[in-house]
Structure 1
Amino acid sequence: MRMNESTPRLEPGRGRRRAAEVRRATLTAAADLLFAEGIRHVTFEKVATRAGVSKMTLYKWWPSPGSLAFEAYFDALEPVLAFPDTGDIRADLTAQLHAFVGLLRERGTAIAEIIGAAQSDPELAGALADRYVRPRRRLAVDRLSRAQRAGLIRAGTDPETIVDQLWGACYHRLLMPAQPLTTDFADRLLDNLFGGIAAPGHDPAGG
């Protein structure tokens, strides 16, 4: 993933700029700062200067710099986190986990900083839960539930727990890096998981 080479700074002009244009410039500037310098450098003053927008606008739109940093992060990386549905649950989980591991390896420092900052920033904690954690869990749980209804996953298996087993393990290696976070690790997680949840008579490896 490559961020923009330069932030699309708004240049002074006649008339009022569209809110969408101001928001786009702001989020791009905040993302550039977050990924290049870390969350501590995402301040309203720096973002406003970099984007060419009013600092007062940022105060009106975001309750804290942390909330702005999170929205910029999510806006920049949301396409990477899309959850496929090809009808093959193992292939879909593999594709999503590989993309997720790649994201954590490339942008893990920023993600860890956001998680850490949320512990003391209630506005950021709320945004993280409402915009990221719950929606991401819901996408995964819905995909796993569809596979369960299709008979690809054993009845009675708890999709919420599967989410914790897979994505929770990746976050654990990001935040407590005693072992490397790799796509091979993701594959081993899936090997272990499918050995226990595959429906009787169904071969998740396709053999």
Structure 2
Amino acid sequence: MMMTEAPSPRRGRGRGRRPAAEVRTEVLATAGRLLMEEGIRAVTFERIAREAGASKTTLYKWWPSPGALAAEAFFAESEPALEFPETGDLHADLITQLTSFVGLLTHGGAGKPISELIGAAQTDHDVAEAWSRTYALPRRELARVRLRKAQRSGELDSDADLDIIVDQLWGACYHRLLVLRVPLADLDIERLVTSALRGAGRPG
């Protein structure tokens, strides 16, 4: 007796209208997965619509281009791995976060996608705007929030330039990844953090 194929759960979705938030979440997850596994060229509205069970009209409504979608999806994909710890020890927390960031770029497969997104942002206004708004600026602000708390607790001088500290720490990673193109695994993260905080002025 021949067995009939079980109906695909994805094909069954067309029977009912899903909430917009659910569709958006799945679209971002699908785009993030394709970006990490295959690179930015794999993130097309046609493919995302097909695999996420969404309409292309919806995608065009929410994002001006596939590149802009890819930029936002990268934040959603990387956010769990890049949460900023708050243990009360600024030095240790910065080492933990930078170690997670470098690990995501090297072992987590994000090195190529992030390089492609930054490259595309140089010539594509939509990608540049989305990259800045949905990833670069929010991640920078998370670092500043942690540094401000360190100032309030006395771990960091009140007049320390927080933007310069951020540039020194994460800028060193991007410089190695995009300019020098040398292994990030060779970066001495503990020494980098120690040097940056010493230069910023740690009370006592």
Alignment of 1:112-123 (within 5 A): 112-123=115-126
Name the amino acid aligned to 1:95: T
Cα distance in 1 for partners of 2:25, 2:10 equals: 10
Superposed, 1:101-140 pairs within 5 Å as 101-105=102-106, 106=108, 107-140=110-143
- Judging changes above 3 Å, is the alpha-carbon distance between structure 1 residues 176 and 17 closer, same or farther for their aligned structure 2 residues? same
- The answer to whether residue 144 in structure 2 is matched with residue 141 in structure 1 is yes
Matches of 1:124 and 1:31, distance apart in 2: 15
Shift of 1:102: 0.8
Aligned-residue Cα RMSD (Å) equals 2.0
Structure 1 residues not aligned, in runs of 5+: 1-7, 202-207
- For 1:143 and 1:10, the matched residues in 2 are separated by 45
Amino acid at match of 1:38: G
The answer to whether the 8 A contact 1:147-1:153 is kept is: yes
**How far apart are the structure 1 equivalents of 2:10 and 2:74?**
18
What's 2:4 paired with?
none
Q: Distance in 2 between matches of 1:154 and 1:24?
A: 41
Give CA deviations for 1:101-160 in whole Å, capped at 9, x if unaligned.
111212110011111111122122111111222222222122112212322223432111
- TM-score w.r.t. structure 2 length? 0.86
- The 5-angstrom pairing of residues 43-192 of structure 1 reads 43-105=44-106, 106=108, 107-182=110-185, 184-192=187-195
Q: Match for residue 42 of structure 1?
A: 43
- Paired residues, what number? 194
Distance in 2 (CA, whole Å) between partners of 1:184 and 1:133 is 21
The alignment-based identity, stated in percent, is: 55
Structure 1 CA distance for aligned equivalents of residues 12 and 69 of structure 2: 21
Aligned residue in 2 for 1:4: none
Contact 1:101–1:183 at 8 Å: present in 2 too? no
Q: What letter matches 1:44 in structure 2? A: F
Q: Give the unaligned 5+ runs of structure 2.
A: 1-8
Aligned to 1:11: 12
